Structure 1
Amino acid sequence: MGNPMKITVTLLAVVTLLSCTASAETANELALRYNKPASTWEETLPLGNGRIGMMPDGGIDRELVVLNDITMWSGSEDPEAINPEAIGYLPKIRELLLAGKNGDAQRIMYEHFRCGGVGSSGGKSKNAPYGCFQMLGNLRINYQYPHQEAADNYQRKLSLNDAVASTSFTRGGITYNREYLASHSDDVLAIRVAADRRGAVSFELELSRPERATISVKGESLIMEGQLNDGHNGDKGVRYLTKVEIVNKGGTVSAGNKSLSLSNADEAIILISTSTDMLDKEYLATVDRLLERAKRFSFVKMKRAHTALYKEKFDRVELWLGEQDNSRTTDKRLAAFQKEEDPSFAALYFQYGRYLIICGTNERTLPLNLQGLWANQVQTPWNGDYHLNINVQMNYWPVEVCNLSELHQPLITFTQSLVPSGEATAKAFYGAEGWLAHMMSNPWKFTAPGEHASWGATNTGGAWLCAHLWEHFAFSQDKEYLRTIYPTLAGAAKFFLSGMIAEPKNGWLVTAPSSSPENGFYIPGDKDRIFVCMGPTMDVQLIKELFTNVLSAASILGIEDGTTARIRETLPKLPPMQISSSGYLQEWLEDYREADPQHRHVSHLYGLYPSNQISPNTTPELAAAARETLERRGDGGTGWSRAWKINFWARLQDGNRAYKLLKNLLEPTAGDEISMSSGAGTYANLFCAHPPFQIDGNLGGTAGIAEMLIQSQDGYIQLLPALPDRWASGSFKGLRVRGGAEVDASWKNSRLLSATLRAETGGTFRVKVPDHVTAVKRNGKRITVENGYIALELKKGQEARVEFIS
């Protein structure tokens, strides 16, 4: 027999080790937590696999689960969008603009130079050809319990580590557990309902939708099917099918007229299979195939496969700013963040953005729209479409730097798909070559001007999308990919080469007509607020960037043709960025009096971020003007506007100001009213409030945090370029840089300690050395610092660990 004392000590050591391990896991767990059911949709928890999703409210007696499919779009192609009379008015509009009579030009545009038909119907287009992204439907679960005492020990959680949500509580001495997932492996939605006492699981299921839905039961399948409005009162609308079945252990399943019920089971899995015919003409067979396949697996096996696929993307990046405070609910942490320092909450928010990208889209489906994948209405705000004057682009700002490069693909594919429509629009409205898109689009490839010139005249939406095509190359260095996108880039350039005109004062080539997104100005002698103009600063920045990227691509691919020659001839004729007498960057060719100096759009700072034409390092005077512009604009604005300002201040290398904007973005808000002047911030489930919810603010916020930690836009890597004082110690792993590398870094007392670079493609990587560093070692050996930089030559797959010694 062994020594009892030794055995006791060993057992204590094992228990202590297990306790410490569990404690460490809890400290590292990334989760949204709540101690009560959701009372509004903005408190529910989003789940998705990029194609389909759901948001359960965790109700105890009655649970509402809102279902989503990213292809649930009404509308269809609209031949009336091409307005044949518009081009006839173009010469007169340009003549008036050249004469400085913007108001007269605008009045003509309001009446004649707009899309045909109703366009987006003012953002309410569910029954118009433009269409609308819509919720799929509602699954209602009515639970029955053997005891009716009040529930206690209630917990509701969304694990970002696993992409699994859960609800648990105790009632009548029985503990009930539910788990929810949108399977990344099996492409169905699944809900597991269990209890720690046999025979205690009973519920009724109902499906519904506010309109255009037929509900039926066939066998033991609950079915919802229908067709959305194509906008022409025809039969071309998107068709959908949803089937729900119960896989039970014990108990009895029974079918009602429009419901399914389960009585006295030990456990049940609710499986939801759904699809539309937008991208899958075999959608009926798909629904059945996915459902039958899912029924063959246990929930444990499905969950394991789902989590493994999800984690392959999610686990690429880590951000450590301190232990997670999982003792408080997320809504309490959100509120407290305004008053106390909680750096780990910023890390949680950062990873939540990555979670929303991974779960909101995938390589084979549509891009994230204004609401990502999630909606609870059939008429979503602003049609839940693709706004091309910042919003859809902001959705994709984090994907490259946050190591989700393949999830750029839906936006890249969508951009290339717009070319035929964009060519028709260029010819019909401007008599120009190439292609363009204006400020809004949809899956039906809408590229025409919007129905109102105050916001619909912006014609650089396609150019902005092309910046994303280039960014994917900048981070990947994939020349074969570059060859596939070059015609799209060159086609966008051709539109501006053939469509710009010379303004009279300096002979600069400018877009005309155009606008600076949604902001207006006043001209002496005209009482109306003016939006229509020539060559707003954002247009010039976008065109210069596009032209430069085309020339860079052509050089890499060995292309020299008429387009590249015309670009070289045209580039010097573009207007320069101008600084007003008051020190801020001008938004227009002339220093007009702004209608709203604190407007939510700060479009003329596109050159600061996401572009790289304004930099404290290379253009200090313009950077100072950008700073003055931001001071003038203020730190308020809608949710996404606050997120954009985080990125601006990060590019200006002001970490504390960027952090202040992050706190502004995370200001708690409630209510779902549509407003652009109040209530902006963040809802209890950490969805960004425009208001109402728009996902761009979440993803712009994640991009902003990454921009505070790493930058690579000036031809070198800069670590911790905008580190706020509040994040004095921390580390990150797996962030990516232009040129094709992954980077890890750690710091303490606001001083960089070490970094590791892993080359995804061979090359020389320049790294800026912080001023506090006196020596640098690579893999333990001291290396040379030249003019404040080190150069790391790496082959593909090679790694270098660098220590920074103060």
Structure 2
Amino acid sequence: MIGLSALFSSGDAWAQQADASLFFKAPARVYVEALPIGNGQVGGLVFGNPNKDRIVLNEKSLWSGGPQDADREDAHQYLDDIQNLLVQGKNKEAEQLLQKHFVSKGDGSGRGRGANVHYGSYQTLGDLQLTWQDTLADYRDYSRILDFQTGLAKTTWTREGVTYSQEAYVSLADEVMVIHLTASKPKSLSFDLALDRKENIQAMEVSKNQIVMQGQLPNKDLLGMKFAAKLKVFPSGGDTEVSGQSLQIRSASECYLILSAATDYSIDDPASRDGDPSLKVKELIESISIKGLKERQIEAFGALYNRNHLSLQNKMGDGDVSRYTTPERLQRYADGIADNQLPVLYFNYGKYLLISSSQPGQLPSNLQGIWAPEYQAPWNGDYHLDINIQMNYWLAEPMGYGDLAEPIRHFTYNLVENGMKSAKAYYDAPGWVAHVISNPWYYTSPGEGASWGSTMTGGAWMTEHIWEHFRYSRDTAFLKEYYPVLKGAAEFLSAVLIEDPESNYLVTAPSNSPENTYLKPNGYKGHTSMGPTMDMQISREVFGNTIAAATILGIDEDFSQQLAEKRSRLAPNTIGKNGDLNEWLHDWADVDPHHRHVSHLYGLHPYDEITPWSSPELAQAVTETLVQRGDGGTGWSRAWKINFWARLGDGDHALLLFKKLLEPVMDEGGKIVMSNGGTYPNLFCAHPPFQIDGNFGGAAGLTEMLFQSHGEEETLRFLPALPKDEGWQTGSLKGIRARGGFRVDFAWENGQVVSGEIHSSLANTASVSLPAKLRILAENGTVIHKNDSSKPLLVEVEFKKNTSVRLVKIN
């Protein structure tokens, strides 16, 4: 049997770290108070109740529904009619015709409730329930802490003189969930174990040391996905017995619970089935060695977590913050009490969630990451292509996690086959298209509603992550592999453009500006349009990226020339009569002036065709747009606005939006508030309800405030949007990545950079905005550049492969 291990880490080791842990003094009442753990594929939400505990289980590929043919094969026959109506200004008639002939066939997404239609929904795997015995006495000294650096969630409490510990994690190294239970007194662990799922269970087999759950989800007319979970018990001492559907563990001194989960989903061929999930979970469990489990997890997780590091000088409003719980810190921050470790905590939580929900070879993180307690997830927990899935990966490249963004790139690659069919069915066009929504079956058809489902640039936006990975890595082998995806998106957009007779510009049609409604001068409120600004920006980006890729690879010269000619004729960004950037081809008003989507600022972020230094008039127009839209909105909308203001160089406004993103969202009774954006007690972003995109987008925004490398020249810019707030004036950022293959470390004091290092993995040239009163030294100490002035100086630095330069303060 397993020997009784050392009982607990020291108190210091498990005290809250102000910048790297969640901390609660009570069990979770609802899932947005629970601690999220995961290894990308398997996720858990730990409630930590010392009487009856619940751990919500997720397996990333567990979806109801299945592949479907949602394309209307004859839709392209109506394309000319729809486009002609738009050209004539008859938007109402065009939208009516589009709703009749140009939406998805069948149920589409089920209007966001697709669990029982072909589209399907992401679903919880179920619950692991742990019911403690001898709970008549109250517990005290309760603590629940999630350590970001290790991925370990630890719950401790004391009852009748005995201190209990429950440590939970999902191992990156061993691919199983681990719950390790100990007590300060031998033979004190007595509890019942069960796996529970409310529906679609085919078998629940309980033996003396394990529980195996098997099931199959519905797929309307067909048999759906099979799944399995296996929970095995490794006790030290005590007795284990079967009681109905539960296991009873009595008087153990220590116990490991090991859980594995799997489905028969095939990521590259979802129409087929990939093995027997019950055999997969059995093989995983049988391969586990208990010895060294925790050490292997800490090593694997830490290697990823420690790729970068942010610190801000610790200046608290009233002393040490570590005595406050996470929800208390949120409330204090909202009340205006200083806590400058909270932005660092949010930055670190973003990378923790990315590591825990996205690993190579998997599906991408969905709307809920891998932490959904529902059988019908909100909006099906799917992949929204009009910002949400993309926002999930904004932080990956700059934080040095380009490998963890492989799932979104591979997902985009797998959209192409269905996207070619949709392009043919709706537009009779070459290349490939994906619209607004998708799922593990690589759905590319429009949605079922004309008001939101016809945006035609969702797939094209996805290709940005391919190009951005190249910009950061300069990996030409990667670019060659993914070039057909870029080219296919460009081929489609090139083929569907039509000429606007008023301006002679080329525009997309029909499309819309995601989920927003315009007001025409004649009073008509509509969605369907031609040439919405975001479409034009994305078209310029895709054409430009494809041309650049073809040039680098030395191929497709004629096609590149065709794209260049059409790119020059695309409808440009225009400024309206109120000084804002127009969202549509014409200067139409918004029905909702404060709409959550600000899609026409795509050219500012994530695309970089608009910058304060290259296009100041447009930068002023987008500033005016943001002022008019206001600082409210859903969680992810506030996160996007942080990035907008950071790109504009306004750190104070970016910080204002960050504070609004962190506004607490729970009522005093512990109920989940379903209005307005903000942040839940466990730092999950409130759309509401919970959507993880805001977490990732907010963390990315903090990065943009401190370091940027976008724009045509990809200039490295230090502290481009540093707030004036005192808590931000001194700090350091290490391990940040820059476009061009650079890794950057730097520190600042009193708002000024005082030291740094730029490392290049390639032989290349860096454009650097050298901060004031700094010089750049080569590895041999030679001065390369010197900036004696009080303003940044634009310089170029030549690098040999795998060499560094230092930024040193001029004394």
Report the TM-score when normalising by structure 1: 0.94
Aligned to 1:408: 405
Alpha-carbon deviation of 1:532?
0.3
Separation in structure 2 between the aligned mates of residue 167 and residue 497 of structure 1, nearest angstrom: 57
Alpha-carbon deviation of 1:777?
4.6
Structure 1 residue matching 2:204: 3-state secondary structure: strand
Is residue 765–residue 797 contact of structure 2 (8 Å, CA) maintained in 1? yes
Is residue 103–residue 526 contact of structure 1 (8 Å, CA) maintained in 2? no
Aligned to 2:282: 288
**Structure 1 residues 674 and 390: alpha-carbon distance in aligned structure 2, compared to 1, 3 A threshold:** farther
Match of 1:631 among 624, 627, 631: 627
1:256 and 2:243 aligned = yes
Aligned to 1:167: 155
Alignment of 1:553-564 (within 5 A): 553-564=549-560
Moved more, 211-220 or 572-581: 211-220
Alpha-carbon deviation of 1:776?
4.8
Alignment of 1:235-314 (within 5 A): 235=223, 237-279=224-266, 280-294=274-288, 296-298=289-291, 301-314=292-305
1:134 and 2:123 aligned = yes
Structure 2 residue matching 1:229: 3-state secondary structure: strand
| Equivalent position amino acid for 2:132 in 1 | Y
1:525 and 2:516 aligned = no
Alignment of 1:190-205 (within 5 A): 190-205=178-193
Deviations 1:629-672 (A, max 9, x none): 00000000000000000000000000110000000000000279
Identical residues among aligned pairs (%): 42
Residue ranges of structure 2 left out of the alignment (5+ in a row):
1-9, 267-273, 315-319
1:154 and 2:151 aligned = no
Structure 1 residue matching 2:296: 3-state secondary structure: helix
**Structure 1 residues 615 and 346: alpha-carbon distance in aligned structure 2, compared to 1, 3 A threshold:** same
Aligned to 1:373: 370
**Structure 1 residues 775 and 190: alpha-carbon distance in aligned structure 2, compared to 1, 3 A threshold:** closer
Separation in structure 2 between the aligned mates of residue 560 and residue 499 of structure 1, nearest angstrom: 20
Deviations 1:362-406 (A, max 9, x none): 101100110111100010000000000000000000000011110
Alpha-carbon deviation of 1:524?
3.3
1:503 and 2:500 aligned = yes
Is residue 371–residue 384 contact of structure 1 (8 Å, CA) maintained in 2? yes
1:483 and 2:476 aligned = no
Alpha-carbon deviation of 1:408?
1.1
Aligned to 1:769: 770
Is residue 754–residue 804 contact of structure 1 (8 Å, CA) maintained in 2? yes
Separation in structure 2 between the aligned mates of residue 730 and residue 334 of structure 1, nearest angstrom: 22
Aligned to 1:729: 730
Deviations 1:107-151 (A, max 9, x none): 111222101011001100001111111111011110013x73211
Separation in structure 1 between the aligned mates of residue 765 and residue 539 of structure 2, nearest angstrom: 30
Aligned to 2:345: 348
Structure 2 residue matching 1:341: 3-state secondary structure: coil
Is residue 612–residue 648 contact of structure 2 (8 Å, CA) maintained in 1? yes
Match of 2:71 among 82, 94, 97: 82
Match of 2:807 among 772, 797, 802: 802
Separation in structure 1 between the aligned mates of residue 310 and residue 39 of structure 2, nearest angstrom: 23
Alpha-carbon deviation of 1:274?
1.0
Structure 1 residue matching 2:321: 3-state secondary structure: coil
| Equivalent position amino acid for 2:65 in 1 | G
Is residue 29–residue 161 contact of structure 1 (8 Å, CA) maintained in 2? no
Aligned to 1:591: 587
Aligned to 1:792: 797
Aligned to 2:715: 716
| Equivalent position amino acid for 1:510 in 2 | V
Structure 2 residue matching 1:753: 3-state secondary structure: strand
Aligned to 1:659: 655
Separation in structure 1 between the aligned mates of residue 145 and residue 18 of structure 2, nearest angstrom: 15
Match of 1:321 among 307, 312, 318: 312
Alpha-carbon deviation of 1:407?
0.8
Aligned to 2:4: none
**Structure 1 residues 126 and 673: alpha-carbon distance in aligned structure 2, compared to 1, 3 A threshold:** farther
Is residue 361–residue 407 contact of structure 1 (8 Å, CA) maintained in 2? yes
Deviations 1:451-489 (A, max 9, x none): 001110100001100111000000000000000111110
**Structure 1 residues 23 and 39: alpha-carbon distance in aligned structure 2, compared to 1, 3 A threshold:** closer
Report the TM-score when normalising by structure 2: 0.93
Aligned length: 778
Separation in structure 1 between the aligned mates of residue 191 and residue 40 of structure 2, nearest angstrom: 29
Match of 1:206 among 180, 184, 194: 194
Deviations 1:532-553 (A, max 9, x none): 0000000000000000001111
Separation in structure 2 between the aligned mates of residue 223 and residue 317 of structure 1, nearest angstrom: 40
Separation in structure 2 between the aligned mates of residue 59 and residue 137 of structure 1, nearest angstrom: 17
Alpha-carbon deviation of 1:184?
0.7
Aligned to 1:330: 326
Alpha-carbon deviation of 1:773?
2.4
Greater share of residues in helix: 1
Separation in structure 1 between the aligned mates of residue 480 and residue 533 of structure 2, nearest angstrom: 30
Structure 2 residue matching 1:533: 3-state secondary structure: coil
Is residue 163–residue 310 contact of structure 1 (8 Å, CA) maintained in 2? yes
Separation in structure 1 between the aligned mates of residue 101 and residue 88 of structure 2, nearest angstrom: 20
Is residue 131–residue 231 contact of structure 1 (8 Å, CA) maintained in 2? no
Structure 1 residue matching 2:287: 3-state secondary structure: helix
Off by >4 Å, runs of 4+ in structure 1: 21-29, 671-676, 774-781
Residue ranges of structure 1 left out of the alignment (5+ in a row):
1-18
Alpha-carbon deviation of 1:761?
2.0
Match of 2:427 among 421, 427, 430: 430
Moved more, 317-326 or 644-653: 317-326
Aligned to 1:572: 568
Alpha-carbon deviation of 1:334?
1.1
Separation in structure 1 between the aligned mates of residue 764 and residue 12 of structure 2, nearest angstrom: 42
Alpha-carbon deviation of 1:704?
0.2
Structure 2 residue matching 1:202: 3-state secondary structure: strand
**Structure 1 residues 271 and 625: alpha-carbon distance in aligned structure 2, compared to 1, 3 A threshold:** same
* Aligned-CA RMSD value: 2.0
Match of 1:95 among 84, 89, 98: 84
Alpha-carbon deviation of 1:604?
0.2
Separation in structure 1 between the aligned mates of residue 113 and residue 21 of structure 2, nearest angstrom: 35
Is residue 517–residue 526 contact of structure 2 (8 Å, CA) maintained in 1? yes
Structure 1 residue matching 2:119: 3-state secondary structure: coil
Deviations 1:217-270 (A, max 9, x none): 1453212111111232x22x1100111121000000101221111001101111
Structure 2 residue matching 1:238: 3-state secondary structure: strand
Structure 2 residue matching 1:585: 3-state secondary structure: coil
Is residue 261–residue 281 contact of structure 2 (8 Å, CA) maintained in 1? yes
Aligned to 2:114: 125
Aligned to 2:539: 543
| Equivalent position amino acid for 1:721 in 2 | P
| Equivalent position amino acid for 1:725 in 2 | K
Aligned to 1:760: 761
Structure 2 residue matching 1:291: 3-state secondary structure: helix
Is residue 130–residue 231 contact of structure 1 (8 Å, CA) maintained in 2? no
Structure 2 residue matching 1:337: 3-state secondary structure: helix
Is residue 673–residue 692 contact of structure 1 (8 Å, CA) maintained in 2? no
Moved more, 516-525 or 631-640: 516-525
Alpha-carbon deviation of 1:282?
4.3
**Structure 1 residues 351 and 736: alpha-carbon distance in aligned structure 2, compared to 1, 3 A threshold:** same
**Structure 1 residues 29 and 584: alpha-carbon distance in aligned structure 2, compared to 1, 3 A threshold:** closer
Separation in structure 2 between the aligned mates of residue 525 and residue 609 of structure 1, nearest angstrom: 32
